Amino acid sequence: MEKILVIGCAGQIGSELTLELRKLYGDENVVATDIKPASKEITEGGPFEILDVLDTHRLFGTVSRNKITQIYHLAAILSGNAEKKPLASWHINMESLLNVLEMARELNLKRIFWPSSIAVFGPTTPRVDTPQFTVMEPNTVYGISKLAGERWLEYYYQRYGVDSRSLRYPGLISYKTEAGGGTTDYAVEIFYEAVRNGHYECFLSENTHLPMMFMDDAIKATIDVMEADASKISVRSSYNVAGISFSPKELAAAIKKYIPDFQITYNPDFRQAIADSWPKSIDDSVAARDWGLKNTFDLKRMTEVMLKGVKEKFQ
Ligand code: NAD
Ligand code: SER
């Protein structure tokens, strides 16, 4: 019987992943935690605790009291917000991961999930079809923390046998919970503004291509990599995953097919430099080969589902 701990359950990914894990493993077997309150669906649908992942003592208590076997550690400060508080973000992103890895080692936990990001790549990385193994010189605090985190995952696996699984998520697109302060957030905000105001001022320039993925595909990939037999996991740092790649101009054109009067304007801010250092598209063939990664949402289908979901929220 698996007992799962989700750290960061109130965020963009956690709010959906927690519910999916509860469907799979049973409501009572998925303990949801966050430093802030979560949705009613999460707090009333199964165990929920307020937990600061940096509080080692309480984390240890929660893991042992609930006889946890697997941890999904989702708490982090994302790229845009991290640039505003570099040292505090480094502290949260790194100390939290080390706390979880130490917990896994000491208590001999079965498995850990920790997401990395396309932010591990930098300006010297090939930007089109970025390979699994390539030059990695990130120049954001978020990217540096994710690359260091990947190295720690591999180190704990090699040295102590801690079985961690990780995906380098691209920008994730969903309508259930707001995005958490990243550079790819425009691709979520645009749908809210299109539905509410018919206009969006984008903080990236029109031709900025970035890899993105719809949340349903990201959650399926997360659960698939966690459920894969250990013999299929050849990458112990983090797997490239990527669904679709598009620019703000292309996304706006896709939205215009459903909201013909929609207007977009461009006013790039500090996040433009971050986006310019990241890949335009990703080669995720190693994940496809190892454990069957498959993307099912293209730009058209994602746009339809996002517009429907956002419209329903405002009804
Ligand atoms: P988010 O900001 O929406 O959610 C993070 C959650 O962590 C929040 O609910 C926050 O309250 C919680 N948290 C922050 N500090 C905490 C602490 N000290 N203790 C406990 N909880 C704390 O982020 P997200 O988009 O859901 O991302 C989850 C993970 O996936 C992160 O590691 C992020 O770097 C990674 N990721 C996300 C994306 C994306 O597009 N959303 C892309 C690549 C990687
Ligand atoms: N969506 C994330 C961000 O923009 C990528 O890791 O920060």
Per-residue pLDDT in tens (0 to 9) along the chain, 315 residues: 899 999 999 999 999 999 999 999 999 999 999 999 999 999 999 999 999 999 999 999 999 999 999 999 999 999 999 999 999 999 999 999 999 999 999 999 999 999 999 999 999 999 999 999 999 999 999 999 999 999 999 999 999 999 999 999 999 999 999 898 999 999 999 999 999 999 999 999 999 999 999 999 999 999 999 999 999 999 999 999 988 999 999 999 999 999 999 999 999 999 999 999 999 999 999 999 999 999 999 999 999 999 999 999 988
Q: Is any atom of ligand 1 closer than 6 Å to the C-beta of 310?
A: no
| Measured CA distances, 268 to 206, 252, 256, 273 (Å) | 9, 16, 21, 9
Decide: 112 and 100 in contact? Cβ < 8 Å. yes
- Verify that 280 and 176 share a domain, yes or no: yes
- Verify that 204 and 93 share a domain, yes or no: no
> 163-172: string of b/e by CB count within 10 Å (b at 16+)?
bbbbbbbbbb
- The one-letter code for the residue type at 123 is P
**For every residue of 17-77, which 3-state class applies, written as one string?**
HHHHHHHHHCHHHEEEEECCCCCHHHHHHCCEEECCCCCHHHHHHHHHHCCCCEEEECCCC
Relative to beta strand 30-34, strand 48-50 is parallel
The residue whose C-alpha atom lies closest to atom 3 belonging to ligand 2 is 182
Q: Is any atom of ligand 1 closer than 6 Å to the C-beta of 12?
A: yes
- Verify that 121 and 177 share a domain, yes or no: no
Question: How much is the pLDDT for 136?
Answer: 98
Query: Active-site residue 266, yes or no?
Result: no
Residue 94 lies in a domain: yes
Residue 199 lies in a domain: yes
Best probe residue, ligand 1, of 51, 74, 142, 189 (max atoms within 8 Å of C-beta)? 74
Residue 192, SS3 per DSSP: helix
The residue whose C-alpha atom lies closest to atom 2 belonging to ligand 2 is 182
> Quick one: which H or E segment has residue 245?
strand 244-246
Which atom of ligand 1 lies nearest, measured to the CA of 73? 32
Q: Is any atom of ligand 1 closer than 6 Å to the C-beta of 78?
A: yes
Q: Is any atom of ligand 1 closer than 6 Å to the C-beta of 35?
A: yes
- The one-letter code for the residue type at 290 is D
Last residue of a domain, one of 117, 146, 170: 170
* Residues 6+ positions from 72 with CB-CB distance below 8 Å: 4, 5, 6, 7, 14, 17, 21, 112, 113, 222, 226
Best probe residue, ligand 2, of 83, 89, 185, 203 (max atoms within 8 Å of C-beta)? 185
Question: How much is the pLDDT for 107?
Answer: 96
Q: Tell how far the Cα of 127 is from the centroid of ligand 2, in angstroms.
A: 16
Last residue of a domain, one of 170, 199, 234: 170
What CATH number should be reported for the domain holding residue 85? 3.40.50.720
Residue 279 lies in a domain: yes
Give the number of whichever ligand sits closest to the CA of residue 174: 1
Rounded-to-integer distance, Cα 63 and Cα 104, Å? 10
* Residues 6+ positions from 312 with CB-CB distance below 8 Å: none
Residue 161, SS3 per DSSP: coil
Decide: 14 and 47 in contact? Cβ < 8 Å. no
Which atom of ligand 1 lies nearest, measured to the CA of 10? 9
- Verify that 153 and 73 share a domain, yes or no: yes
- Verify that 181 and 164 share a domain, yes or no: no
- Verify that 184 and 204 share a domain, yes or no: yes
Which atom of ligand 1 lies nearest, measured to the CA of 116? 44
Decide: 256 and 194 in contact? Cβ < 8 Å. no
Residue 58 lies in a domain: yes
Print the domain residue range for 96.
4-170
Q: Tell how far the Cα of 117 is from the centroid of ligand 2, in angstroms.
A: 7
Give the number of whichever ligand sits closest to the CA of residue 180: 1
Question: How much is the pLDDT for 103?
Answer: 96
Question: How much is the pLDDT for 90?
Answer: 98
Last residue of a domain, one of 170, 204, 222: 170
Long-range contacts made by residues 191-196, C-beta under 8 angstroms, separation at least 24? 191/255, 191/306, 191/307, 191/310, 192/310, 194/255, 194/259, 194/262, 194/307, 194/310, 195/259, 195/307, 195/310, 195/311, 195/314, 196/314
Q: Tell how far the Cα of 103 is from the centroid of ligand 2, in angstroms.
A: 26
Question: How much is the pLDDT for 180?
Answer: 86
Q: Is any atom of ligand 1 closer than 6 Å to the C-beta of 282?
A: no
Question: How much is the pLDDT for 161?
Answer: 98
Which atom of ligand 2 lies nearest, measured to the CA of 119? 6
Which residue in 25, 72, 142, 175 is the catalytic one? Answer: 142
Number of domains in the chain: 2
Question: How much is the pLDDT for 163?
Answer: 98
